[in-house]
Structures are given as structure tokens and as C-alpha cells.
Structure 1
Amino acid sequence: MNNKRIGATLLALAAAATFAGCTSPSATKPTLMDVKTVVVIYAENRSFDNLYGHFPGANGLQNVTAASARQLDRNGAALPTLPPVWNGLTQTGLTPAVTQAMTVSLPNAPFAINDPNGFNTPLSTTTRDLWHRFYENQMQIDGGRNDKFAAWADSGGLVMGYYTMNEASLPLWKVAQKYTLADNFFMGAFGGSFLNHQWLICACTPVYPNADKSPAATSISAVEADGVTLKTAPNSPASALGGPPKFVNDGNLTPDFYAVNTMQPAYQPSGNKPAAGGDKAYADPQTPTTLPPQTQTHIGDLLNDAHVSWAWYGGAWGDALAAAQSGQAGVINGKNLTAPNFQPHHQPFNYFADLAPGTPNRAQHLRDGGLDGAEFIKAIDAGTLPQVAFYKPQGNLNEHAGYTDVASGDRHIADLIAHLEKSPQWNNMVVIVTYDENGGFWDHAAPPKADRWGPGSRVPALVISPFAKQGYVDHTQYDTTSILRFVTRRFALPELPGLVVRDKALAANGQKPMGDLTNALDLRSGAAE
């Protein structure tokens, strides 16, 4: 038989197979409906360049030039050097100790914190904290130029620090190599943890009604007419080389009474104690930083309406709650459960009235992740996670500068991934690991311009799943709200109002729409979804 006849015969057999009901390889791909469990792990305070600036194939530090990284002073002139790291890079008594004097005259450029020929500060060392606040973040981004991080910081040159990483030094690096790393993922809101946790669950900014007539009146920020820039105080150093800036009033509230910097929940566990003689399940409402209960629609409401199971697992939640109720000042069985091991402002659902103490909603959905995540791991191993599960590591395992290190949290999350990969639910699971915000660390990528709330600086994000594209760097534009978009699409939920506002703002500014993370997955599209 000649080649032409062989080819004709093969074509005929293929056609016959198709007519017989055989499917093409693409038709055997899973669809979005095959995703049964979504897990979100929310770490703390790292920019993309700070951890993944050298990840192969990613938009990292290799794309940074001397000109694009150069930091400007408060008057717009180029800084001759970076400011010192005010109060030192590490705390006194830590090894290695890096004092302020040792950081004078750093070149005006990014630097490796763990460089053996430099500060030689390993991932296991806790560095000092940095400002990560709503207005300062916008002032540092400077319209997308990212050139005033050192100018509007309380940590001087530390903002330009990053870690030189590889698969041997960072456990999650190996996970990123195996699955998908998103290198164009931005924090949902400008500023810090409090606001970005709210954007994770509701794409909304909390409100404090009539704040000017409340105990929080003194926390209303003094802002310039542009709505972005804090008013500097007369005694503020003119140059970043002279010290951290000072402001007229850098408060927790905007002039129109939105809560943008850390406020405490009205329910325990809270950073504020109960009122004297009051209900121990509540925080004192007369304390200026106690935020009134919120009533906006959050993702839990939409999941409830659609009869989709969900839960928020807070690391050390049960022990912190017991400590608050017992009046033991955050100590149970000799364990410190106040900061740094538990942060009440990292528990966003605890701010909402429909999850108040005593409600069935709270009992069902706010769950104890356990000390060191032990209860969360039990649910993973037993295959009893709800359809949508959020997990917040306790403080000493969340990677936040100032009170913990990178290594401890990274090992913890990598261990969780190992458990998830062995879970009975794994075959139909999508796991998203990301960071709430940049923690004040510089990143070179310009955030897309959208609404008044964000997005802010770029942060790392990993998509981990048997459905994830393998060894893939995803350049799709995402932000924290992309997690909500994914959950919304998968479970056919209504869009939260904040998602609609952000989409319109992006379009009005000529920006691309935010992705919903499906580009990180190898799925068959179409009506079967």
C-alpha cells in the first residue's frame, strides 16, 4: 500500500471514530465546573520584587534599570544615596544586628538584604517593620513611577530591600516552579492589612458613620485637595535624608469617614478590650479605634444565598477568643495570643453585623484554624473543607516584617500545600496563595489606575491545583479582587458592587480589565462551564 492510500485509510478511520462518539483530546479536559473546592491562603506584607524578583521568566529585577529604580527626595530631586534604615535593619539583640549607622550612604538602588557580602541577614531573621498605610502607599507609588518609596517611609532605605532566592532557600519557590506564579498581581487596595483583608472578602472599604461626632473624630486624616497626599507638618524634615516625614494628621479615616488604616472589630477577639462592666463578647465602642459593625454585602452573603458552603479559618482564633472571654490578657496555657501571634484586624468577617456573636452565621462560618494551623490541617487531611475556604496564618507564621520572618511562614505554607496535595479533595481543588499587601517594600511594576481605593503595589500570587498550568508564569493582570471574581464565576454568584465599580474605573482610565485567575488553569472553555 502506498503512502497516499495509507493516509486516506487513517483519515477514514479517524472520521469513523468521531462518528462513533469518540471525543478529541481537548474535549477530555476538565471544565470550571470540575473545581469543587477553592482554598485561599493569605500571607502578609511582601512585594513581588522582595521575594520573587529573580524568578525565571517573571517580570522581575532583570527588567529594572538604574533610572527606573532611582528614588527621589520629597522635593522631586534624585536622592544622592538611600536614607539610612532608621532605627536599624534588625532589632538590637538579634543576630546579625544591623544598626542604623551600618546603613548610612547606601547606593540609590535595590539591594539584597541577605547578600553575604552585604548585611548578610537571612530569611530567618526578623527585620524592622515599614510603613504600609493608605495615603503613604499612594505617595510612594507617585502616579505609577514608584520613585518615592524612600521619601515617604519611616524605614528609610529598607524599602528597597529584597531577598535573593532560589528553590533551595524558599520552599514556596519550588511550589511556584511546579504550578503557576502570577507576576502581574496587585494588592486590591492601597495601604495595609486591615483594608486589604476587607477587599479580599467584599471589595469594599469600611465606613464609620458620623465619625466627626464620634470617639474617632481625632483620627480623620488631614489630606491635600488631590485626595491622595497627606498634609505635611511644619516641622517635617525637608529631605528623606533628614528623617522620616511628619504629617498634620495621619489618621485611620478619610475626610469623608471611610476607614482605611487599622481599626479594630466591635466583636472579640479585638485589639480593644470590652467596656468596663460590659459584655465580654464585644469591644468598647467608645474606644476611638473600635469600628462600628459593617453592613455591606460580602462574599459570604453571596455564598450563603447560593447554598455554597464556606468558612474562614483563623490561625489561633479559638485560643484568642477564649483568652478575650476569660480576661486573661491574651494568654492561654502559657501561650501569648496577642500580637505577634494573633492579629484581630486580620479577621475581616469579624467586622460584619451579620456575623455578630451569637448568630448562627458566625458559629457556622468563623472557624478555629488552630495553633500552628493544626485544626485547618485536620480538615484538609479529613477531606472536610467547605467549598470555599479561607485560611489566615497566625502572626508568627504570616511573614510580616517587624514581628516575624520570611522563613517561618514560608515553611508553614509549603507544609500546608503538601497536606492539600494529599487531601481527598485535591483532585478537584484550586489553591490560591497570595499576600495581603506589600508591607511597604518597593516593587518596580506600576499598578493599573482604577478607583480611589486601588489597586496598590504588586504582590506575589501562586495558583496551585491539578488544573493549574504546570511550570507557568502568568502575566495576566490581576489584583486581590480576582479571587472574588474566580469564586463568583465558578459558583455563578452576583457581582459584588465593588467589582463593578473597579471594572468601570479601569475602563475609564484606559486600563485592561482584571482577570479572574482562569488563565492560570488548563481548562476547557465553553457552555460546559
Structure 2
Amino acid sequence: MRTESSNQKSLRYRLLSCVAIGVMIGNTVAPIATASAQEGRSEEGRHEEGRTATPIKHVIIILGENRSFDHIFATYKPVHKGESISNLLSKGIVNADGTPGPNYDEALQSRGFDTTRYQLTPSKTAYSVLPPALVGGPSTPALCAALGVTSGTSCDTPANEAVAKTVENGLPDDYYKYLLTGGTGQTSKTPDKRISYAGRDATHLPPGPYQLTSKTYPYDAYAASPVHRFYQMWQQLDCDASAATEHNSSGCRSDLFPWVETSVGAGSNGAAPPAGFNESSTGEGSTSMGFFNVQQGDAPYLKELADTYSMSDNYHQAVNGGTGANHVMFGAGDAIWFSDGAGNPAVPPHNPVNPTAPGTPLPGYASALSEIENPNPRPGTNNYYTEDGYGGGSGSPTAVAPNANHGGGSYVNCSDATQPGVPAVLNYLHSLSHKIAAGCETGHYYLLNNYNPGYFGDGSNAYTDANANNTVFTIPPSNLRTIGDSLNERQISWAYYGDDWNRYLNDKYEKNAEDIYCNICNWAQYSTSIMTNAAARTEHLKDTTDLYASIAAGKLPAVSYVKPSGLLDGHPGSSKLNLYEGFVKKIVDGVKANPKLWAETAILVTFDEGGGYWDSGYVQPLDFFGDGTRTPMIVVSPYSRGGHISHTYADHVSTLKFIEANWGLKPITRRSRDNFPNPRTESDPYVPVNSPAIGDMMDLFNFDHDHDHDHDHDHDRDHH
């Protein structure tokens, strides 16, 4: 057996080979005035910060990864007798034990047919059984492999837990074991032998949602990850204005989830489909249809929070796309676009790609980078997009043929109706009874998915950096205005706390495998006004170690954004939901341990996106970019007790509206989504009649009620 010190020494090198950790996931801004330390702000600044519309003086927004509302809360029952919820159980789609319910047919999925140009509503036929549910995630947990344990599904020992604590500091002590458990014990992209639902195995599942967990599939298990890209998500929703009803005014039927997973998956990067392409080739199968069962012990801590505090069952991801685009929306309330690095719109690299040899530029072209989306199906295929992906090749600026970087389709000029994919979305938006503006500025190429931010943590330009360890799949520096600019102008304190930030500062190319900081998640890292100001970087960009110290000292900034590392963010495939639960619990417990801080703090617990998991909730189109599926949003505060379920329509930009309402700030820009009004409803509390509209989250609180700060489980009190 290795000693602890030798385990630590070898850990960083072995992590490099672990697939689970390797899963990767026009408004000009004036320069920020030199930032000062929180204690050193002016008397005027302290007065502005303390002047709030509610008793909340500190808001903490914790952002997990890739879980839809029904994926976690499919069978949740509100603890308060006067509350209702919209989920699979309440709709009769499943029973409390997770089995198919009397209305299971309402969730049936279909196989689409799209062979000519991208369509939101292709012709379709119903599945009789789902495509196979496939294995994803590590066979042996990543930390186990890093410690030299290369087989088995667990390596949980006291010695190994001690080593795990040297890698990650974001968990309560009794959660570290989960870093060492839950391996699949199977080969990836094969039918998952753990899955059994309604008496059927992974290759014969009924054509709707299925419960993941069972006697053979524990909650503490790694799982596959569905596709979560822009055009794929739009297509999965199957939105048709002619199908609109009183309770579904968008006409989105959400019945093409497995088909999009199996027909294109995460994209082609310009390459042709592999030989023998079938429903297992993308490695996803019907992953999107899996759900947990909180009635049987799944997601116990999130359920406890929902029971005790307030939760929304009508909160949504803001962009039909992945992590990067949605985190930018958290900070800016808008989509980011490709520029010349000086604030002027520009055209991204757009070269043809040889589908049979994508790593070799075609004659006459110096590059095979093709960063503009083209979701039209490749000739001879059913929905295999021509150009879409996170980028092929190593990404290194020094890569050359036959292994040159290629593809990377992630931008769109949605102001141009001749661009591939754009007409389908625009035609849908314009055909709605409430015609929806696309929100696309002329000549702007908007980022729809994940690209690295334009700056490294030290403020240097990441887009122009030609180091061999960098990646070309990086967006130029941006002058898009953010909530950071708004707060700085009013001298209201804020911070973005990124787990592993300190490691990243000394390892900007993230070569150290222990450095699992998420750069694409930090909306401030895209921003020129923040990143080119050394004082601003020092003041506002911090590690979660600083968060824990600030909580202990009772000196939190007014606004805090908190992001776990790739180990703890709950992202399927590379993390687990119980690890995110532990990350949240450490923060909540820390705040509650400081009575003064707890009395004036709201902790918002959510996820960046649904991750491609199916959801049964209403989706409101707001503009070209979204909204997308529901994600959980739980508000933890002395003022949000009682198990209240909010039905008010909200999305990520609602967090900005709450900050602005509480601290008296104006919308970030003239076009950001925080300009949208609060929803008005009539017969259906979920569907705004003044669309586009999103709430400010105030209804998740009860500021008029007397609050007993010593009792957190008073579920029977009247919330209203």
C-alpha cells in the first residue's frame, strides 16, 4: 500500500489519464474604476450596499451542472398541504414508486426524419421502445484510478479519503467517500446492465421516461451525459406554434429527445458519420429520459432543502445550449458575440472541412477551423449536422495536418435568415400568437455553446495566445456589459468564487490535473472591463477557500457567485449529484452557523442547464436563444421557509432581476433580458400572458412573516 505522501505525489499525473475528469465540458462598457478592498470602500459605497428593498443583504448563487427539474424532482410531493407542483407524479406520467403512471402516454418519444435542412418540427413516428440506454462515466472512479486502483467500482478507505481531502476541500467530511465510489464497472457506450425499469432492461425500455435508480443502480453511481447544445436542444423541444394550447402557448412538445441524441449527439466538427452509424454510435442512446426518485431516497439533501425552504417549479435555463452560454447569461442577461477584441463585431473563422479527412485543410485553405454553425443534415444522413461541435483536434495553436484543428461550429449570425438553422427558429418565433423578437443585432455572431473565455485568470489575452498548450477554441475579449459593471458603478461589493481558482492562477493552461477550475463558467473572465484591471481581478475573482473564510468571518460581499470544481459540480459523466449536494451543504451549514450572517442571507441553489435531460414543464420562447428546459431553483433563507413552491415563470436572468430589485439597480443594458416585465397570468399560473416575461424571484420569499431563526422544519405554517 502506498503511503499518503506518495499517493499525493502521484495523484496529479494519474488524473491526467482519467476520462471522467477529462470531460470538457452591442454595448460598450466604460472601464471599471480601481477596485478597493471591501473594508476600504467609501462611506457612500457602504451606504449604497446596505440600502436594500428587503432584509437580504447577501445573496449567494451556487451553480451546479446539467440537471433538469423532472430529472431530480419527478416524484416530489410538497410538504405543505396548500402547495402544488408540476412534475411527472402530479401529471400521472409516473407513480410514486417511479413506475409508468396512468398518463405515461403523454411523455412518449418519437423518431424524427430530417434529411434536407434543419427543422424544429420534422416528420416523426412514435418509438415502440427507446434506443438503448448506454453506459457513461468512469468504470472505476477517477480518484481511484489516480491512486493506482484501476479496477472495481470503489476504493473507499480511510487512507484514500484522506488523500481525497488534499485534492478537494469543498465537501463535508462525510461526503468525501463519494469521490471514491460509484464506478460503472462496465464498458462505455454499451447497454447499461444496471438499468431495469418496468420489468425491462436497457435495450427494451418503454418509449418514455424511466427511473435510473433501482436495486442494481444505486443513487451513488456515475451515469452517462446527454447532449446539451443549442440546435440540438431547440430540436428536442419540437416547438410548433400550430400545436399551441391554453396551457402550452409555445406549442413545444418535448418528444424528440432520444432521437436528437442518437442522430447527431454532440456534433460532427465537420466530419462524416462513422461507418456503420446506428443508435449507439453517439454514445448517448436514451440517456436523456432517465430520472431520479426522491420518494425512494434519491437526492436526499436537495429534497430536504425543498421541504424546508422555497423552490420554483417554473425556473428555466436561459439558453438552449451548454455551460458557457448559460453562465454568460447569468452575468450579462444576454448572449456574447464574436468580435475583433476591441468591441467591434467580426466574422469567426469559417473554412470548409473535408468530411473524410477533417484534420487536413482543403487545398487553398490554411485552416480547417469552421466555427459557424450549420445544423443542416449532411447529405445522405438523417439529421447528422454538417458543422457543429466543440472543436476537433487537440485545440493547440501549433497543431498541423493531418491532425489540424477543425470544425468547432458554435457561432450564429441570427440576424441573417439565410444562415443555416436560422430560418427554422425565426419562423417559429414569428408564427406565435405573441410574436417574439429574435434579439439578434445585425452582423453579430453569437456564441451558442462552449468556448474558452478571452482572458486567462492573470488578465492576459487568451484569444491571441499562441502557446502550444492553449486552445484555438477561444472567444475574443468582450466588451459585453455585465452585472459586475452595474455593481461596481454603485460600489456594491461582489465576488465570483471559483473552486480551484488559486491553482488555475498558477496553471493557466490547466496542465496540472488537480486543477479542475471551470474557466468557461466564470462570466467575468470574458469581460475586458474586469479582466484588464488588476485591482478588479484581485477584488472580485476568488477561490472557494476565500468564500469559506469569508463565511466564517461573517464578511460576505453583497453578491456572490459560487462554482464548484469539475469533481463536485454534479455534471453527469464526470461528477455525481450527491457530490454537488455535499458542496451545497458545506456552504449552507457554514452560513447557518453564523446567526448574524444567516439572518440576512439568501442562498440560491440551481444548475446552469437541464443538461439535455427531458422535462415535462412549459417552456416560454423569449428570443432566438431560449428559454430551455426547467432546472431546479431552491432558495435557502430565513425568509423562504415552509416548503413553498413558486409557479412564477423565471430563468437565469431572474437572478439578475432579484439583485437589481433588491439593490435598486437598472437593467444592465437596453437589450438585456432583465428589461422583460414580471409575468402576468390568467387561468394557468405557469404561462405568462404578457410574454416575453420573467419573474424577479421575490415570490420565493415571505418578508412579512415573523421568522424563528432557530427552527428550520416548521412545514405546517402558512407561507402566505
Shorter-chain TM-score: which interval?
0.7 to 0.9
Could you report, residue by residue, the CA deviation over 1:206-254 in whole angstroms, capped at 9, with x for unpaired residues?
A: 11132245789611011xxxxxxx2111243x4xxxxxx5211111111
Q: Which moved more, 1:472-481 or 1:508-517?
A: 508-517
Q: Indicate how the Cα distance of structure 1 residues 355 and 509 shifts in structure 2: closer, same or farther if over 3 A, else same.
A: same
Task: Spell out the pairing of 1:118-267 with structure 2 (5 A cutoff).
Answer: 120-143=216-239, 144-153=252-261, 154=265, 155-166=284-295, 168-169=297-298, 170-209=300-339, 210-212=346-348, 218-222=370-374, 230-236=375-381, 238=382, 246-250=384-388, 251-255=409-413, 256-267=444-455
Could you report, residue by residue, the CA deviation over 1:73-120 in whole angstroms, capped at 9, with x for unpaired residues?
A: 11311111111135x24544554446623421211121111122xxx3
Task: Spell out the pairing of 1:360-509 with structure 2 (5 A cutoff).
Answer: 360-369=535-544, 374-423=545-594, 424-497=596-669, 498-500=671-673, 503=676
- Size of the alignment, in residue pairs? 459
Q: Percent identity?
A: 25
Task: Spell out the pairing of 1:211-360 with structure 2 (5 A cutoff).
Answer: 211-212=347-348, 218-222=370-374, 230-236=375-381, 238=382, 246-250=384-388, 251-255=409-413, 256-269=444-457, 275-276=465-466, 288-324=472-508, 329-331=510-512, 336-337=514-515, 341-360=516-535
Q: Indicate how the Cα distance of structure 1 residues 246 and 91 shifts in structure 2: closer, same or farther if over 3 A, else same.
A: farther
Query: 1:113 is matched by which residue type in structure 2?
Result: L
Give, in whole Å, the separation in 1 of the partners of 2:675 and 2:373: 24
Query: 1:182 is matched by which residue type in structure 2?
Result: S
Q: Show the counterpart of 1:16.
A: none
Query: 2:210 is matched by which residue type in structure 1?
Result: F
**Per-residue deviation, 1:124:** 2.2
Secondary structure in 2 aligned to 1:33? coil
Q: Which moved more, 1:92-101 or 1:458-467?
A: 92-101
Could you report, residue by residue, the CA deviation over 1:144-202 in whole angstroms, capped at 9, with x for unpaired residues?
A: 21101111113121110011124954212111111001111111111111110000011
Could you report, residue by residue, the CA deviation over 1:376-405 in whole angstroms, capped at 9, with x for unpaired residues?
A: 212111111101111111111110012111
Q: Show the counterpart of 1:522.
A: 702
CA contact (8 A) 1:91 1:128 kept: no
Query: 1:268 is matched by which residue type in structure 2?
Result: F
Q: Show the counterpart of 2:360.
A: none
CA contact (8 A) 2:463 2:475 kept: no
CA contact (8 A) 1:81 1:105 kept: yes
Structure 1: gaps of 5 or more residues? 1-29, 223-229, 239-244
Q: Determine which of 106, 109, 112 is the counterpart of 1:74.
A: 112
CA contact (8 A) 2:110 2:256 kept: yes
Q: Indicate how the Cα distance of structure 1 residues 505 and 139 shifts in structure 2: closer, same or farther if over 3 A, else same.
A: farther
CA contact (8 A) 1:106 1:157 kept: no
Could you report, residue by residue, the CA deviation over 1:277-322 in whole angstroms, capped at 9, with x for unpaired residues?
A: 79xxxx96xx541111111110010011111111101011111121
Could you report, residue by residue, the CA deviation over 1:397-427 in whole angstroms, capped at 9, with x for unpaired residues?
A: 1100121111111122122111111234111
Structure-1-length-normalised TM-score: 0.81
Q: Determine which of 67, 70, 94 is the counterpart of 1:49.
A: 70
Cα root mean square deviation, aligned: 2.8
CA contact (8 A) 2:333 2:673 kept: no
Give, in whole Å, the separation in 2 of the partners of 1:466 and 1:419: 14
Secondary structure in 1 aligned to 2:110? coil
Give, in whole Å, the separation in 2 of the partners of 1:429 and 1:310: 14
Give, in whole Å, the separation in 1 of the partners of 2:303 and 2:294: 8
Give, in whole Å, the separation in 1 of the partners of 2:461 and 2:255: 34
Query: 1:51 is matched by which residue type in structure 2?
Result: I
CA contact (8 A) 2:212 2:291 kept: yes
Give, in whole Å, the separation in 2 of the partners of 1:311 and 1:204: 20
Q: Show the counterpart of 1:241.
A: none
**Per-residue deviation, 1:351:** 0.7
Structure-2-length-normalised TM-score: 0.60
Q: Indicate how the Cα distance of structure 1 residues 231 and 429 shifts in structure 2: closer, same or farther if over 3 A, else same.
A: same
**Per-residue deviation, 1:500:** 4.7
Give, in whole Å, the separation in 2 of the partners of 1:358 and 1:442: 42
Could you say which structure has the higher helix fraction? 1
CA contact (8 A) 2:639 2:702 kept: yes
CA contact (8 A) 1:42 1:434 kept: yes
Give, in whole Å, the separation in 1 of the partners of 2:222 and 2:463: 28
Query: 1:520 is matched by which residue type in structure 2?
Result: L
Q: Show the counterpart of 1:60.
A: 87
Give, in whole Å, the separation in 1 of the partners of 2:368 and 2:521: 20
Secondary structure in 2 aligned to 1:40? strand
Q: Show the counterpart of 2:43.
A: none
Give, in whole Å, the separation in 1 of the partners of 2:224 and 2:448: 23
Query: 2:208 is matched by which residue type in structure 1?
Result: A
**Per-residue deviation, 1:512:** 6.7
Secondary structure in 2 aligned to 1:442? coil
Could you report, residue by residue, the CA deviation over 1:42-88 in whole angstroms, capped at 9, with x for unpaired residues?
A: 111000011111111321111133232101111311111111135x2
Q: Which moved more, 1:125-134 or 1:356-365?
A: 356-365
Q: Indicate how the Cα distance of structure 1 residues 147 and 353 shifts in structure 2: closer, same or farther if over 3 A, else same.
A: same
Structure 2: gaps of 5 or more residues? 1-50, 79-84, 94-102, 114-123, 141-152, 154-182, 194-201, 240-251, 266-283, 340-345, 351-366, 389-408, 414-443, 681-687, 706-720
Q: Show the counterpart of 1:4.
A: none
Q: Which moved more, 1:381-390 or 1:162-171?
A: 162-171
Give, in whole Å, the separation in 2 of the partners of 1:56 and 1:419: 28
Give, in whole Å, the separation in 2 of the partners of 1:51 and 1:85: 18
Q: Which moved more, 1:148-157 or 1:122-131?
A: 122-131
Q: Indicate how the Cα distance of structure 1 residues 347 and 125 shifts in structure 2: closer, same or farther if over 3 A, else same.
A: same
Q: Which moved more, 1:498-507 or 1:465-474?
A: 498-507
Q: Indicate how the Cα distance of structure 1 residues 212 and 308 shifts in structure 2: closer, same or farther if over 3 A, else same.
A: closer
Query: 1:385 is matched by which residue type in structure 2?
Result: L
Secondary structure in 2 aligned to 1:261? coil
Query: 2:232 is matched by which residue type in structure 1?
Result: E
